[in-house]
Structure 1
């Protein structure tokens, strides 16, 4: 704080408190005040000023000796026509400043807004808190408002007042804890923060929690913004989204980190608009119909990937301005691609300029570290029981949905919110009022969050990253659920990757890792995630997780993706996984796109594209993802050969898709599986196709069912199961076998069919002397 002249101790106490920046109600002193005797007084605190005057009235203000406080007293009539007068002052260099006095304006915030905010029911608190361009009584400026009930004084500071906390102290609105001030003549682009004096006399400089834009790190000042003039072009998309039956539609999500997906040639970041053009084209090519962004809420540390946010109402400045991010979302919508945003209400960083001890007290967090600290992450936990904190988070969620047309939020670390003893030892947590470990305030908050977002933004998706067995995460709140649209299936992900990481020779001992998930697959609306968390911190890339030599690694990855895209649940892949990224994800460099110069990686990219097309083209693979009616085991017991087979069925039951997977490098000829209907079963996908880099063991385009009872079914088909591969057979009406096998099938938009004769040469990874002609146990029944 700039140091001014030493004030005289003889000054009245109210004036001393203004000069020393400790007055809780500056409007009591500053501005003009009419007296009962017909006179008026004017006080203006003007650091750096040599002399000052009121323009309209031609009144010269006199400095109070030894201070930067200027005053005038005289007939009230001289100010009668100038309720919002301008003060002009001259500094020591003779420079002139002229501004309308902010202390001539009355309170601007409505009592109803403050009432709703105090009750935690103001869904759009960001519309009155923060900074907003306003015209008041014909005077343009910016309205500021901040919640800081523990502060004894709050000031707006910025480049317009030399960051001097004495210059623009705010008024507090009764017991609401909200401070406000209208400052005339400010323009967009101006930098600002808040300076707060706590009960102990300590001064804190803080960002605006509701700021809409920030400087690019390492600078962190807030930026005044004008109301957006961006013209959206996605009205049709939003209307269609509101009517979309998303539960029975294909959802394939491409998860990306904007700072490391692609970069400029010199390694610098791309702008939101350029990323959007490239990303829309790429997702269209690959068949992804949603993108999910790692957090773009403003954050100071790149290495946090955005998960330690400080600006809950501002897209990060790393990639452009707020309207650039609007253009990003708009561009993707124009290509029929939805946008999901990772959103982090579970914790926030300890940065001294942000939310931590905002007004000198534990305001947004719990005071007790047993409730308020995440020791694992070095962060603080929101106090969900405090109405204003809950309102802050609810408003943030609705802000992204309303102001940026985001199609949904993936809520991070939900498990850490639900459990009071999350990652804590005995004695390190406080039970709830019933003696349990459930965070009842967090549960209420999440239910309210999901209820309000779904009501106000129909068709929006709320997705939980929740890794425990908490019941009914994705069930409606009126049934006792948390109300999320979907939940990440972390159990399936961990079990499947654990299985795939094992050497094929040992997999038959762990067959249950693949089958156990079906015991709970329909208890929630699940997303199958291979996310960023699985390819960092020594966990290896998806490709490098696979055992064996190079051929087996690529074959296993193709097999894994085929299994994923046919398994019940919506799909999610992180950037780089779709082409077999070689190294772990590095947030500080773009993905290894150069690998696409190599055929093996081209094969991974091709099969992901074809699997997306297959998944979206066949209702049986997406219509009944959340109900057991869409799935049926053919055989889940063949652990000795590490083979799985199952049926996927459409909503009307008319389309049948048979899926069979061989998790060993041993090709299996004439592997017979039971099927429900006679007819022809076309091979719509074979992950061993030569097109993908496979050995081309296949079924010559398809097979006819035979009236041979097998596995409790009246019909069966003999398959050639390629090594480390999956095949997808689509049931079709009976057709002439000769016509069907006359042409060699090729890769199509819905998937590549293997063209080689059944039983062609095994892969380089195939074991010699195998029992390749062994079929499944005919007496096996579905589990």
Structure 2
């Protein structure tokens, strides 16, 4: 005859749902419960044959009865209040202690619910994901994940045999978040989320969207991060940064892919600490102001270069742990270098452990493939109109700036976010509510990110990789702009590279490729990018794009670099191009550093270093990079000789004249209008012997005399070396 069930005991059907991992509200069954002044404890402890309940200070509360062979125990206990409980369990193999996670209250509070529900929470990285802490006097880890359409979510990991029945989480119905505090789970523990879809189907294990550390690929588990605060030593740098206006300061960016800049002798990756010891002093010695890193958020596939991230909050484990990355940034700041991160909020890969169909439904992405699938990259597009998704991404931007002292975020693929019909044929996209092709939700998201970035972290900046003529990319959000600090000038890059690839004899017919950019040069705050995109996928290196024999290729490249450094706009150069890498970039191999043993390559490296020095030292070259009063043409229409000249100016600074001769013909006594009479110092001559040129020039000085038939203040007769650019600095008396 079956034993009669007491009124306080759990319904066998409820027990069956718990032990089978089907219960959607485990906290209603497990843990400590009070009814009519009596307390009941229920626990699921697999493998236990018996259990004794105790308080944390060792007071015996009583033995629990085994109700199910899977390890479900239940019993009445003598308690006077709700408090954490410890189970002393045993079987024939031994005894062990377990602190009951279901005897703890929630960690998230009502204000978290309010701000998360509103979509305005700006500290989600402190609340979501895994956080080691002391809670109600016990050390453990709090887990929180958004999965509003799940029937059940469990934390599984190395601490519970990856068994989803062991630690199902508490559902916060109003906001769709599941949470649990697991005592004894320490930093370094691997974990994922086991999710039961709303139809009761078990999904592939999911990595934590907010994980701040991950396993090394090809493993994909999230890792509980060490919460020890990093001991920063960059206080002086950070304080000075707050008052900077980068539009009027030199910004010369060295773009780097950490995995292939340099490698260990055994072919492995340098660690963050080794990069701090090698990359940081190299970039500082070269005179760059910033290092820009191709995405270092965790990503599963090396050939994606990081542009298909699965762990937006985790510095990739390829080079070490998060503290190692912080040491790298700290070292850069102490060397006077800023760090820019490539940031990818446009799309994400569909790896089954990632965000795609996270709770069995289209959660982070659009359900409609016309909105949620990216045909170019076979990726999923974020649903920017969903407040939880906007908050997830906005918080991610703020996380990098706060936790790792990042100076700037270069936002990837902005054009693909702005246009609903990007890379789509008619009928393959969904118009907005006004019938247009603008992605209204993405625009609002970008404006929010920029407003929060500049509002919360003075001295930081954002950069848009935006390849169209979208208006107001760098206009402030209050003026209905997108609010970016800078925009990559793709037009400059395309026009000038197209020109430089032509044989010099044909350049006179394409002179406008070098002058057209000045028609819009001040419509945005521009960065001039010679980026990784120009030296991959069969495009060759910058050197191999140049026409002519080897001597002419190097001369062309040197002239082009000085042309760019003298042109209005901030500068960006991809690694290896500073010493004229011959092979196009391959992420699997280190740069060809041995080339620096060759005179021509070392000459280009010296030139880039000197260009950075001159650019930083002369306010005329950077103080009005983004404003039209900083530029004036001297010669814009000498197509016949392929010669261009202009003045760069800034308040209270000596003017600078830039002259470029883009044919291999030296010009003797070239008559040049000048903005002032007197002595002009030849700060840069790309044909100098120091750079492995032919050493033609003006012996370091150009003298301009008063008067000019075209109305300029002065005139100079100068020598223009072949395929060269000169930068002349006025020397006031």
Query: TM-score under structure 1 normalisation?
Result: 0.90
Residue of structure 1 in register with 2:624 after alignment: 624
Q: Structure 1 residue 340 and structure 2 residue 367: aligned? A: no
Q: Structure 1 residue 60 and structure 2 residue 59: aligned? A: no
Measured in 1, the distance between the counterparts of 2:136 and 2:323 equals: 29
Residue of structure 1 in register with 2:135 after alignment: 136
1:394-409 to 2 correspondences below 5 Å: 394-409=394-409
Measured in 1, the distance between the counterparts of 2:412 and 2:88 equals: 51
Q: Structure 1 residue 156 and structure 2 residue 130: aligned? A: no
Residues 188-245 of structure 1: per-residue CA shift (max 9 Å, x gap) = 1111111110012221210110111011001111111231232110111110000123
Residues 123-175 of structure 1: per-residue CA shift (max 9 Å, x gap) = 11111111112222211111111110010100010111000000000011122
Alpha carbons of structure 1 residues 65 and 385: separation in structure 2 relative to 1, 3 Å: closer
Measured in 2, the distance between the counterparts of 1:711 and 1:296 equals: 54
The alignment covers a number of residue pairs equal to 719
Q: Structure 1 residue 171 and structure 2 residue 170: aligned? A: yes
The alpha carbon displacement at 1:651 in A equals 2.4
* RMSD, matched Cα: 1.4
Partner SS, residue 705 of structure 1: strand
Measured in 1, the distance between the counterparts of 2:142 and 2:169 equals: 11
Measured in 1, the distance between the counterparts of 2:439 and 2:327 equals: 39
The alpha carbon displacement at 1:445 in A equals 0.6
Partner SS, residue 239 of structure 1: helix
The alpha carbon displacement at 1:715 in A equals 2.1
Measured in 1, the distance between the counterparts of 2:116 and 2:589 equals: 42
Q: Structure 1 residue 701 and structure 2 residue 680: aligned? A: no
Residues 522-577 of structure 1: per-residue CA shift (max 9 Å, x gap) = 00000011111111001110111111100001001100100010000011111001
Residues 465-509 of structure 1: per-residue CA shift (max 9 Å, x gap) = 111000110111111211111111011011111111111111111
Residue of structure 2 in register with 1:306 after alignment: 306
The alpha carbon displacement at 1:32 in A equals 2.1
Residue of structure 1 in register with 2:449 after alignment: 449
8 Å contact kept, 1:673–1:710: no
Measured in 2, the distance between the counterparts of 1:83 and 1:123 equals: 31
The alpha carbon displacement at 1:407 in A equals 0.6
1:75-224 to 2 correspondences below 5 Å: 76=77, 78-80=78-80, 83-91=83-91, 94-204=93-203, 205-224=205-224
Measured in 1, the distance between the counterparts of 2:99 and 2:720 equals: 81
Measured in 2, the distance between the counterparts of 1:614 and 1:598 equals: 24
Residue of structure 1 in register with 2:4 after alignment: none
Measured in 1, the distance between the counterparts of 2:623 and 2:25 equals: 62
Measured in 1, the distance between the counterparts of 2:158 and 2:256 equals: 36
Measured in 2, the distance between the counterparts of 1:607 and 1:644 equals: 20
Residues 616-663 of structure 1: per-residue CA shift (max 9 Å, x gap) = 1111100011111010001111111111111111223x4211111111
Partner SS, residue 367 of structure 1: coil
Partner SS, residue 143 of structure 1: strand
8 Å contact kept, 2:32–2:82: no
Unaligned runs of 5+ in 2: 1-9
Residues 288-344 of structure 1: per-residue CA shift (max 9 Å, x gap) = 111101111111111111111111111011111111111110011111111111110
The alpha carbon displacement at 1:58 in A equals 5.3
Residue of structure 2 in register with 1:255 after alignment: 255
8 Å contact kept, 1:57–1:82: no
Q: Which moved more, 1:223-232 or 1:360-369?
A: 223-232
8 Å contact kept, 1:385–1:441: yes
Measured in 1, the distance between the counterparts of 2:285 and 2:560 equals: 21
8 Å contact kept, 2:414–2:464: yes
Residues 333-389 of structure 1: per-residue CA shift (max 9 Å, x gap) = 111111111110000000110100000000000000000011110111100100000
Residue of structure 2 in register with 1:781 after alignment: none
Measured in 2, the distance between the counterparts of 1:371 and 1:523 equals: 31
8 Å contact kept, 2:47–2:70: no
Residue of structure 1 in register with 2:560 after alignment: 560
Residues 379-425 of structure 1: per-residue CA shift (max 9 Å, x gap) = 11100100000000011000000000001100111110101001111
Partner SS, residue 132 of structure 1: strand
Measured in 2, the distance between the counterparts of 1:388 and 1:595 equals: 50
8 Å contact kept, 2:654–2:732: no
Measured in 1, the distance between the counterparts of 2:542 and 2:714 equals: 38
The alpha carbon displacement at 1:97 in A equals 2.9
The alpha carbon displacement at 1:590 in A equals 1.1
Measured in 2, the distance between the counterparts of 1:682 and 1:95 equals: 85
Residue of structure 1 in register with 2:725 after alignment: 726
The alpha carbon displacement at 1:732 in A equals 1.9
Measured in 2, the distance between the counterparts of 1:91 and 1:403 equals: 46
Query: TM-score under structure 2 normalisation?
Result: 0.96
The alpha carbon displacement at 1:83 in A equals 2.7
The alpha carbon displacement at 1:273 in A equals 1.2
Alpha carbons of structure 1 residues 482 and 67: separation in structure 2 relative to 1, 3 Å: same
Measured in 2, the distance between the counterparts of 1:638 and 1:691 equals: 29
Partner SS, residue 243 of structure 1: coil
Measured in 1, the distance between the counterparts of 2:620 and 2:39 equals: 81
Residue of structure 1 in register with 2:370 after alignment: 370
Large movers: runs of 4+ above 6 Å? none
Measured in 1, the distance between the counterparts of 2:651 and 2:239 equals: 25
Measured in 1, the distance between the counterparts of 2:234 and 2:705 equals: 51
8 Å contact kept, 2:343–2:409: yes
8 Å contact kept, 2:61–2:79: no
8 Å contact kept, 2:42–2:72: yes
